[in-house]
Amino acid sequence: MSKRRQTRVGFQCKANYSTAFTKTQETSAAVHFKRGDVDSNDVVTSGASDPYCIVKVDNEVVARTATVWRNLNPFWGEEYTLHLPMGFHTVSFYVMDEDTIGHDDVIGKISLSKEVIGAQSKGLDSWMNLTRIDPDEEIQGEIHLGLELVQDGIRAGLHCHIIEARDLAPRDISGTSDPFVRIMFNSQTAETSIIKKTRFPHWDEVLQFELNDTKLQDGQSLALEVWDWDMVGKNDFLGKVEIPLDCLQKASQVKAWFRLLPLGKTEDDAGGKLGALRLKIRLVEDRILPSMYYQPLIDLLIESVTSPAEVDDTTPLTMLEEVTTVESRQEVAITLVKIFLGQGLVIPFLDYLNMKEVNQTSDPNTLFRSNSLASKAMEQFMKAVGMLYLHEVLKPIVNRIFEEKKYIELDPCKMELNRTRRISFKGSVSEEEVRESSLELLHMYMSDTMDSIVNSVPQCPPVMRVAFKQLHKRVEEQFPEPENEDVKYLAISGFLFLRFFAPAILTPKLFNLRDNHADTRTSRTLLLLAKAVQSIGNLGLQLGHGKEQWMAPLHPFILQSVGCVKDFLDKLIDIDNDSVAEAHHRAIFLPSVTVKEGYLQKHKAEGQQLLPRFAFKKRYFWLSSETLSYAKSPEWQVRSSIPIQRICAVERVDETAFQMQHMMQVITQDNDGQPHTMYIQCKNVNELNQWLSAIRKASIYNERMLPAFHPGAYKSGKWSCCLQTERTVLGCSRTHSAVTLGDWSDPLDPDAETQTIYKQLLQGRDKLRKKYLESADAETAMDQKEKQQGSGSQTDDMKKSRSFYERRMAAAARLLDVVQDLERAHLAFERREKEEASNDILPP
């Protein structure tokens, strides 16, 4: 059997709510919004809406875009990667209108099943009309049933044991329901009792039905419906299950959880009047084999870096780049970076790629300008190991710009004098006054930004500094001429400034520098600052050559900063390679490194005490792969710590438990096996999702993870979720430990990462075989030359060419053999899984 089976869902969402209404995007998920007729108070009163998107996997909210205020044509530009369990069913997108008072309005939704997404190997990318929200279709939860066929020789009956249900949809204003079950079988109907005010009812009731014969007839089924009882008006539908009873032909009794389904009505898209959502979403589902199957491929990749025979030799890495498409290059780059980080060889890996790129470049002006594997690998490497460094350098400046909201504009064509905050009381401001004020503010922001950058050498991760030192060395060796003196600086600044600092300033939310997108005014300030930083990173060489001549007043400051940048880069690479141990190559993934931190509200439930409703205290939390710790403030000397190994569940808490939003719980076990729960409140749903995901990833390999938990709290002698009175009773809801958001802090997983490389090579196998093993052109030409010269008169060049060709063929043959072995292993495991599934008599 495989070490583990996992579904890896790449999901990147970029969303626009545009003139026809929405846009969200991928792992590939993207959403464009086309505005339609929206029934919303905001639209009626102000002609605008405050849209945002929510992404749900089954019934769990996993992501929320920022709100775009007063806009019917919003652009979000957000990307998410979701890691999901194999058993997920649907991914849904809800377009919401945020209201500062009262509940947010639902504009419409798109719901896609796993089967629909998975049917498109390259993913979905199309406009889809939003559909209305139908309560009968908003179904969630499962029901636990036992079915038994009872015979006494003369009569036969079916006993249906209604045990419990979990995660039912809330239908009442209290956030709960009053559920009961109705069963229809053989023209007979029976109902359970009503359990009030719960989404996790326990019935433990047996409903009995008579059969017309002593045995079940072929094709007979049992229909079950769950309803929410209402004293006034009609009951609300909570879901249905139709169970074929063929399973009782093999075994007289069956007990299982069944997923509740909607009525199956055709979704009403209102003819597109609600708007449309452009979705781009891709599902990646992998079978991960045991480590021993991937080791030969890892060995070949490592061999490419550690012992290449010649600089121009064909290696598995160069062949991998040949079969990598433009669309997949970024994924392959980050995967390779993580593989070599895990092997402690990320510096030799980057040096190998950079050396080949530099040696193949004749014009220094084109160096690293393409999206080659070397360029993408360096870019992803900086994000993997340098995000904490980036936050330390830029976050204070970015926060200040967001808070101050200054009006800054240099382009005369974009100046809006009537909307500008007055600089004096003499009347409306002039264009010159706006320009002078903007220059003063921009100079201040640029000065603070550059001071933070050039003084950040001690904060820069040593592994980044060594990588830049090696890059500096390779460029200097290739372009030693005096006229190319700046090229060695441009190579480094091109990555650090143009691909790291400038993009983070331009879109701080995408680098987790801010929770929300900038408004129009702040966004313009960030754009101008990013342009200036980009020009400084180019060492001022592009000044005066562009169309934006209105940027000219900034040129003196940019040119003055060039010397500081060169001095900064000289200091950055002034580091001894030997002083950077292998541990530094993996520094970002070591236990001592904090992967997330910030203020949260906490309450710890201890012993048998009832939970006080407002006993939450503000604490500063730190999370590493070893501990979850907290203190009164970041400077506080005394910290309380929870070992990550003791965490057995990290889950959401129902809003009804404390009448508080954005709550989660961390459940741990002590050495005696006793459970302890800490309740934590976050500022918003995005912060909640980030902390949930980060702690889940840190504890993903713990051995004592719980299969179930209580989403409520134990107070007044019972659980608020399932109403059970026993405090130690088994949890009433399924845990979601496999649902996480992918980001730079994902733990290293060599098997999953190597599986990604294998799939890429498998797709390009025919291309490699044709080029390296089946093409006889090169060998035929070589043989003809040898015959003309005579076998005893081979030149040195011919011998070298023959040796090069033979090494290339051998490398390709070894790589393709490894790919074929992995393919056979996958087929063997697939056959075994099918055999095991065919022996399973229980229904899914």
Q: What is the pLDDT of residues 31-58, one digit of tens each?
A: 334 333 333 334 333 457 888 888 888 8
* Upper half-sphere CA count for residue 249 (Cβ side, 13 Å): 9
- Of 98-107, 515-524, 603-612, 737-746, give the lowest mean pLDDT range: 603-612
The two structure tokens encoding residue 627: 């501990």
* Among 603, 18, 623, 528, residue whose Cα is nearest residue 278: 18
pLDDT of residue 546: 65
Higher pLDDT, 631 or 512: 631
pTM greater than the 0.95 cutoff: no
Q: What angle do CA 165, 167, 172 make, to 5 degrees?
A: 100
pLDDT of residue 33: 40
Helix (H/G/I), strand (E/B), else coil: 662: coil
- Of 376-380, 601-605, 649-653, 754-758, give the lowest mean pLDDT range: 601-605
* Among 119, 95, 103, 92, residue whose Cα is nearest residue 21: 95
| 623, 678 Cβ separation under 8 angstroms | no
Using a pLDDT cut of 90, give the percent of the chain over it: 39
Q: Using CB atoms within 10 A of its CB, is residue 198 exposed (0-12), middle (13-18) or buried (19+)?
A: buried
What single-letter amino acid sits at 452? S
pLDDT of residue 37: 35
Give the model confidence (pLDDT) of 479-491 as tens digits. Answer: 988 888 889 999 9
Question: HEC states along 358-412?
Answer: HHCCCCHHHCCCCCCHHHHHHHHHHHHHHHHHHHHHHHHHHHHHHHHCCCCCCCH
* Among 11, 1, 9, residue whose Cα is nearest residue 55: 11
What secondary structure letter does DSSP report for 677?
E
Say which residue the tokens 């039905």 belong to: 209
Query: Has residue 748 got a pLDDT over 60?
Result: yes
Determine what percent of the chain falls in helix, strand and coil, rounding each to the nearest 5: 40, 25, 35
Give the model confidence (pLDDT) of 428-483 as tens digits. Answer: 678 888 889 999 999 999 999 999 999 999 999 999 999 999 999 999 999 988 88
Q: Sorting pLDDT into bands at 50, 70 and 90, what band is 105? A: confident
Q: What is the DSSP string of 529-584?
A: HHHHHHHHHTTTTTTTSSS-GGGGGGHHHHHHHHHHHHHHHHHHT---GGGS-HHH
Q: Using CB atoms within 10 A of its CB, is residue 473 exposed (0-12), middle (13-18) or buried (19+)?
A: middle
| 233, 256 Cβ separation under 8 angstroms | no
pLDDT of residue 470: 93
Q: Sorting pLDDT into bands at 50, 70 and 90, what band is 794? A: low
CA distance linking residue 130 with residue 95, whole number of Å: 8
Enclosing H/E stretch for 831: helix 796-838
What secondary structure letter does DSSP report for 75?
B
| 261, 241 Cβ separation under 8 angstroms | yes
Q: Sorting pLDDT into bands at 50, 70 and 90, what band is 630? A: very high
| 509, 394 Cβ separation under 8 angstroms | no
Q: Sorting pLDDT into bands at 50, 70 and 90, what band is 205? A: very high
CA distance linking residue 53 with residue 67, whole number of Å: 8
| 107, 95 Cβ separation under 8 angstroms | yes
| 540, 552 Cβ separation under 8 angstroms | no
pLDDT of residue 844: 38
Rounded average pLDDT over 3-14: 36
Query: Has residue 824 got a pLDDT over 60?
Result: yes
Say which residue the tokens 């392959």 belong to: 332
